[in-house]
């Protein structure tokens, strides 16, 4: 059975699928495109910036960017200029914005790549203007001023905005830059009952007045991330939060930023599916310690199954007890809890009864799914086991795990992997 059709029909990649992937993060680009359509339905004709920073939250930025654009995203958002360079190198020409710089950022490269740039402080503006003077791009560099309306990270404080805006206006008059956008980032949008989001929106309005008083005319205002985009309507703050453009990351990947709300409830389909195959099955007596520290000890004769993924693959070491769904050829699929410490390369499942090493049951080689769509465990369960959020789990799956993307309306070859 092919990798793609196996996954589509059964929710896992079967052992007999072609390819030598012993472990894989399958990236379902059809699900990603579905999510883009879903997000589009929430925002109407507003601009959608698909946030593909951090290698698309670990999903593989190039293929994800192609799918996001094919499904109707207007632009791509990254954090570093170097992340944008990777996408440009792959031939992606869509509008792209990068918004976190250091004094070592290569702004001349940014100009050559035709990037739009977020600007949070004066030194960035000065360096960008200097790069524009040297590189003389045919068009003014498009800038988005980033204001701190309460998050306390990057972004210019309102008290310092007037000066920054005046300087930006001076460079506009010289034809070096054009302030196309004004934006801010929300601190508590994932907790929709909290009042600070509305305060940030009001501060943002003040920032706009300051920018306009300096003579700037930003056409594109943007605040919303994934949680704001999904809660704006319920909060009756659609216009105040969605403005002209939204910057959506997590939602693209089919994950929910809202505690206690599943992707399904948001109308999203999880995109990443993390799987390997059981690599050892063995009978052990009662009293068998398992993994470093021997913190798990069997209380009866039982069968242990080895899952060949560990913290070098990006599964957090602290996440003892995370779920693994196993699909043996000769027995019912079931979700188990990992036992004992997660090691660099492996973790252990107690199958709960002796005698399960019988080859007829097919536990050896059985697909073992840590998270994915459908019946598979959600990413959030691993996040809970690790004391973190789903964003971190997918983003930190390491390069040791190959990303295998399937689907995607942009692929012009129809060959299945
Ligand atoms: C990462 C990021 C986003 C996307 O946030 P999600 O919650 O993943 O949608 C939006 N804006 C900025 C400034 C970001 O850094």
Task: For the domain made up of 30-259, give the CATH fold.
Answer: TIM Barrel (3.20.20)
Measured CA to CA, the distance from residue 141 to residue 394 in angstroms comes to 34
272-401 is classed in which CATH architecture? Beta Barrel (2.40)
C-beta of 248 in contact with ligand 1 (< 6 A):
yes
Atom number of ligand 1 nearest to Cα 79: 15
Sheet with strand 403-406: strands edge to edge: 280-284, 302-307, 347-350, 334-339, 323-326, 367-371, 272-277, 23-28, 403-406
- Which of 52, 247, 395 for mutating ligand 1's site (highest number of atoms within 8 Å of CB)? 247
CA distance 233 to 229: 8
Q: Which residues are identified as catalytic?
A: 53, 292
3-state secondary structure of 281: strand
146 lines ligand 1 (CB under 6 A): no
What is the atom index within ligand 1 of the atom nearest the CA of 51? Answer: 4
pTM: 0.97
Contact 315, 347 (CB under 8 A): yes
Indicate which atom in ligand 1 lies nearest the CA of residue 49.
10
Q: What are phi and psi of 399, to 5 degrees?
A: -65, -10
For 321-363, how does the pLDDT look when each residue is reduced to its tens digit (9 = 90+)?
999 999 999 999 999 999 999 999 999 999 999 999 999 999 9
- Please tell me the residue having the least CA distance from ligand 1 atom 4: 249
Atom 13 of ligand 1, residue of closest alpha carbon: 185
pLDDT at position 274: 98
| Residue 344 assigned ligand-binding role | yes
Write out the chain's pLDDT in tens, 417 residues.
789 999 999 999 999 998 889 999 999 999 999 999 999 999 999 999 999 999 999 999 999 999 999 999 999 999 999 999 999 999 999 999 999 999 999 999 999 999 999 999 999 999 999 999 998 878 999 999 999 999 999 999 999 999 999 999 999 999 999 999 999 999 999 999 999 999 999 999 999 999 999 999 999 999 999 999 999 999 999 999 999 999 999 999 999 999 999 999 999 999 999 999 999 999 999 999 999 999 999 999 999 999 999 999 999 999 999 999 999 999 999 999 999 999 999 999 999 999 999 999 999 999 999 999 999 999 999 999 999 999 999 999 999 999 999 999 999 755 554
Please give the pLDDT value at position 45: 96
Cα-to-centroid distance, 78 and ligand 1 (Å): 9
Q: Is 258 exposed, middle or buried (0-12, 13-18, 19+ CB in 10 A)?
A: middle
**CATH 3.20.20.10 residue spans of the chain:** 30-259
Instruction: Tell me if residue 338 falls in helix, strand or coil.
Output: strand
pLDDT computed for residue 415 by the predictor: 55
User: Which atom belonging to ligand 1 lies closest to the Cα atom of 226?
Assistant: 9
Quote the ligand 1 centre to 104 CA distance (angstroms).
Answer: 23
Q: How far is the CA of 235 from the centre of ligand 1 (A)?
A: 20
Annotated binding-site residue? 153? yes
What is the Å distance from ligand 1's center to 222 Cα? Answer: 11
- Partner residues linked to 305 by β-bridges: 281, 349
Cβ of 257 below 6 Å from ligand 1: yes
Report which secondary-structure segment, H or E, holds 86.
Answer: helix 81-89
pLDDT in tens, 8-36: 999 999 999 988 899 999 999 999 999 99
Distance CA 108, CA 132 (A): 7
All residues at 6 or more sequence positions from 413 whose CB lies less than 8 Å from its CB, including other chains = none
**The pLDDT of residue 136:** 81
State the pLDDT at residue 18.
Answer: 85
Q: Which runs of E-coded beta strand occur in 139-227? A: 141-148, 156-157, 177-183, 220-222
Reading the block at residue 129, the tokens are: 């203007």
Q: Which of 39, 146, 147, 185 to mutate to test the pocket of ligand 1 (most atoms within 8 A of CB)?
A: 185
Residues with Cβ within 8 Å of residue 261, at least 6 apart in sequence:
none
Residue 292 DSSP symbol: G
Distance CA 158, CA 149 (A): 7
- In 105-177, which ranges are continuous DSSP H helix? 107-112, 122-135, 158-173
Domain with CATH 2.40.37.10 in the chain: 272-401
225 lines ligand 1 (CB under 6 A): yes
Query: Is residue 101 within 6 Å of ligand 1 at its C-beta?
Result: no
Residue 114: per-residue pLDDT: 97
Q: Is the CB of 222 under 6 A from ligand 1?
A: no
- In the DSSP assignment, the letter for residue 18 is S
What is the spatial distance between Cα 77 and Cα 90, in angstroms, rounded to a whole number?
16
Collapse the DSSP code of 163 into the 3-class scheme (helix H, G, I; strand E, B; otherwise coil) and give the result: helix
Ligand 1 centre distance from Cα of residue 227 (Å): 10
Cα angle, residue 58 at apex, residues 264 and 232 outer, rounded to 5°: 40
Asked if residue 17 lies in contact with residue 276, where contact means CB atoms within 8 angstroms, the answer is no
- With a 6 A CB cut-off, is 51 part of the ligand 1 pocket? yes
């Amino acid at each position: 059975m092919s990798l793609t059709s196996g996954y589509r029909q059964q929710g896992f990649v079967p052992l007999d699928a072609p390819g030598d992937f012993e472990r894989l993060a399958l990236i379902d680009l059809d699900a990603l495109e579905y999510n883009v359509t879903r997000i589009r339905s929430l925002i109407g004709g507003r601009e959608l910036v698909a946030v593909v920073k951090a290698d698309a939250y670990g999903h593989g930025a190039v293929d994800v960017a192609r799918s996001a654009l094919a499904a109707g995203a207007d632009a791509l958002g990254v954090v570093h200029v170097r992340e944008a360079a990777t996408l440009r190198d792959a031939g992606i020409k869509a509008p792209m914005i990068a918004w976190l710089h250091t004094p070592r950022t290569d702004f001349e490269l940014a100009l050559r790549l035709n990037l739009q740039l977020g600007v949070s402080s004066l030194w960035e503006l000065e360096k960008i203007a200097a790069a524009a003077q040297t590189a003389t791009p045919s068009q003014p560099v498009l800038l988005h001023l980033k204001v701190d309306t309460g998050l306390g990270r990057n972004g210019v404080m309102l008290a310092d905005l007037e000066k920054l805006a005046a300087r930006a206006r001076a460079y506009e008059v010289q034809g070096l830059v054009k302030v196309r956008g004004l934006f801010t980032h929300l601190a508590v949008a994932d907790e929709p009952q909290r009042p600070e989001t509305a305060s940030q929106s009001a501060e943002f309005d003040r920032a706009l007045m300051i920018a306009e008083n300096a003579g700037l005319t930003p056409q594109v205002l943007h605040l919303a991330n994934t949680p704001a985009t999904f809660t704006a309507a319920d909060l009756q703050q659609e216009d105040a939060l969605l403005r002209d453009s939204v910057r959506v990351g997590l939602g693209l990947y089919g994950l929910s930023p809202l505690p206690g709300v599943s992707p399904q409830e948001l109308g999203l389909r999880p995109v990443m599916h993390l799987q390997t195959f059981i690599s050892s099955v063995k009978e052990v007596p009662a009293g068998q310690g398992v993994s470093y520290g021997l913190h798990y000890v069997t209380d009866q004769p039982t069968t242990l199954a080895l899952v060949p993924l560990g913290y070098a693959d990006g599964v957090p070491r602290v996440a003892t007890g995370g779920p693994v769904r196993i699909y043996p050829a000769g027995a019912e699929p079931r979700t188990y809890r990992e036992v004992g410490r997660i090691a660099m390369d492996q973790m252990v499942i107690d199958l709960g009864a002796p005698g399960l090493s019988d080859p007829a049951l097919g536990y050896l080689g059985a697909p073992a799914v840590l998270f994915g769509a459908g019946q598979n465990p959600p990413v959030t369960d691993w996040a809970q086991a690790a004391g973190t959020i789903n964003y971190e789990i997918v983003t930190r799956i390491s390069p040791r795990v190959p990303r295998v993307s399937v689907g995607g309306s942009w692929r012009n070859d129809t060959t299945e992997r």
